[in-house]
Structure 1
Amino acid sequence: MNFSNIKLEFENSIARLTLNRPEKLNSLDDQTNGELLAALNLVQNHAAARVLVLTGSGRAFCAGQDLADPTMQADNGKLPDIGNVVEKNFKPFVMGLQNLRVPTIAAVNGLAAGGGVGVALACDIAVAAQSAYFLQAFSRIGLSPDTGSTWFLTQRLGIARAMGLAMLAEKLPAQKAAEWGLIWQTVEDAAFVATVDRLAHQLASMPTKALVRTRQAMQAAITHTLEQQLSTEATFVRELGWSADYQEGVKAFAEKRTPHFTGK
């Protein structure tokens, strides 16, 4: 499939999805949103893919919704239903990332603002360049956060820090984001690309089904009681215990060698 505003590349077991509107700080217009959903579908159905890396081109990761997009403009004096943009585009993309059959990495190479924050946090692991920062800019234009930001921020940071970030719209440097537990880690800019590449290859070589079930178990734990979570864990472990990767893992452990997982 030919894309105009994104790039999708498959390198053996690694899928790389790049937002490619650097002149617009990789902001999301209607066309870009449609391309992102199509790209996720391609990754979902690509048999060889075992990890997805999501990043941005140029100096930004993603600046959120493009406010100049026609979907955000008045039509003959009638104000647009911008909530429909969230329902039509952002909600399915965030849920698509959360339900993808492979683990996901957000490689935050620069600014992540507005909905770009939610996009980054919807991935399983977020790694940011030292110079990157996060910005909940919604209050600056009279909106409340979207793209899952209110959920991700409160879950990871607690209500006090989430509220401060959302209401005051202050920049959160990547290093502090890591210290607060919003993201996995920060990396020096010069080592950023190589670090992300190593992480992608590491995840691609691991038991894919077990990683995805780990994501799902963590998600379920947010609303489950301990008893419910123990049952969920038993269900997942039972299923994974019949997988080829588990059999290989146990055999490799007994033979004192590195396992060779196939994602099956």
Structure 2
Amino acid sequence: MTPTVHRFAAIENRDGVVWIWLNRPDRHNSLVPNLISDLKSALTDAAQQKPRALVVTAKGSSFSTGGDIAGFLDHRASLQDLKDYAQELVSGLHGIILDLIDFPAPVLAALNGPVTGGSVGLMLAADLVAMAEHAFLQPYYSKVGFGPDGGWTALLPDRIGTGRALEIQYRNKRISAAEALRMGLVSAVCPLSELEAQISKWVEDLGKGSSRTHLATRQGVWDEARRETVRQRLDQEKDRFLELVALPETVDGMLDFTRKRA
């Protein structure tokens, strides 16, 4: 089928499997409201196609570097504007994470490059994750002064343990692909050139089983009680993010981070 292309997302149905690409490669697929909106639309389109599986990946050299600092700084003249922008972005991202958790088919993620900041939530909401061997995960929140969002406190501790999740934040620890595999955060690590082949192998394996069973399994794991807990935790993350983002020292942290990256 011919791919549908939004400005910042692309969607294609490949033999009953829907692929979605984050499509802002010139900014390393960093998150802005327009990308979130396009991704939301793509997920709605994907669900309507009733696919056998959903694959989330990205164009370019990074999967996503999280919230675009430049977008926040564009709204720093007014603290209220900055908070309103942050509210739109973080609420949208968290809505996407919940949409992925609610998706009516297995969700696979193909991490083609670094995953930092809140974009880790797109990975944490997936059932099977393949990661390119050069890719890594890293929070970066303490380098700027943000509160963690995207599931770093809402989802990650349940996956790897509270102590390890806290250490990663406190030390801004970079998690290599090999370490992510050891932690159980990803299911496979491979060269970038083999990433799509790994996803195709999983899709083949899924096709050998009952799609009704897969859906029942997913709905059993992500039952209403668990989804409600995640919603509440994501709301807590958002509230703390909004508390911190408009502090003068956080604005200074964003400016300093931008200068260092430049």
- Aligned CA distance change for structure 1 residues 2 and 139 (closer, same or farther; 3 Å): same
8 Å CA contact retained: 2:32, 2:89: no
Q: Which runs of 5+ in 2 are unaligned?
A: 227-262
8 Å CA contact retained: 1:13, 1:204: no
Give the equivalent residue in structure 1 for 2:137.
Answer: 134
Give the equivalent residue in structure 2 for 1:34.
Answer: 37
CA distance in 1, matches of 2:115, 2:205: 25
CA distance in 2, matches of 1:215, 1:184: 17
Instruction: Say which SS state the counterpart of residue 149 (structure 1) adopts.
Output: coil
Deviation per residue, 1:81-105 (Å, 9 max, x gap): 1551355301210000000011110
Of Structure 1 and Structure 2, the greater helix share is in 2
User: Which letter does structure 2 place at the counterpart of 1:150?
Assistant: T
Q: Which runs of 5+ in 1 are unaligned?
A: 224-264
Instruction: Say which SS state the counterpart of residue 55 (structure 1) adopts.
Output: strand
8 Å CA contact retained: 1:126, 1:183: yes
Give the TM-score normalised by structure 2.
Answer: 0.78
2:220 to 217, 220, 223: 217
Using CA pairs below 8 Å that are at least 6 residues apart, which structure has the higher relative contact order?
Answer: 2
Give the equivalent residue in structure 2 for 1:23.
Answer: 26
Deviation per residue, 1:183-215 (Å, 9 max, x gap): 212123332221122223432553223213212
User: Which letter does structure 2 place at the counterpart of 1:216?
Assistant: Q
Give the equivalent residue in structure 1 for 2:66.
Answer: 64
Instruction: Say which SS state the counterpart of residue 59 (structure 1) adopts.
Output: coil
User: Which letter does structure 2 place at the counterpart of 1:214?
Assistant: T
Give the TM-score normalised by structure 1.
Answer: 0.77
Give matches, 1:185-264, under 5 Å: 185-204=188-207, 206-220=209-223
CA distance in 2, matches of 1:193, 1:164: 32
Structure of greater Rg: 1
Give matches, 1:68-217, under 5 Å: 68-69=70-71, 73-76=75-78, 78-81=80-83, 83-86=86-89, 88-204=91-207, 206-217=209-220
- Aligned CA distance change for structure 1 residues 204 and 26 (closer, same or farther; 3 Å): farther
Give the equivalent residue in structure 2 for 1:255.
Answer: none
Deviation per residue, 1:84-127 (Å, 9 max, x gap): 13553012100000000111101011100001211111111111
CA distance in 1, matches of 2:94, 2:86: 10
CA distance in 1, matches of 2:108, 2:73: 29
Aligned-residue CA RMSD in angstroms? 2.2
User: Which letter does structure 1 place at the counterpart of 2:69?
Assistant: L
- Aligned CA distance change for structure 1 residues 73 and 166 (closer, same or farther; 3 Å): same
Instruction: Say which SS state the counterpart of residue 126 (structure 1) adopts.
Output: strand
- Aligned CA distance change for structure 1 residues 176 and 197 (closer, same or farther; 3 Å): same
CA distance in 1, matches of 2:152, 2:132: 20
8 Å CA contact retained: 1:127, 1:184: yes
CA distance in 2, matches of 1:99, 1:106: 15
- Aligned CA distance change for structure 1 residues 71 and 50 (closer, same or farther; 3 Å): farther
- Aligned CA distance change for structure 1 residues 77 and 221 (closer, same or farther; 3 Å): closer
CA distance in 2, matches of 1:156, 1:221: 19
CA distance in 2, matches of 1:72, 1:51: 38
CA distance in 1, matches of 2:80, 2:103: 37
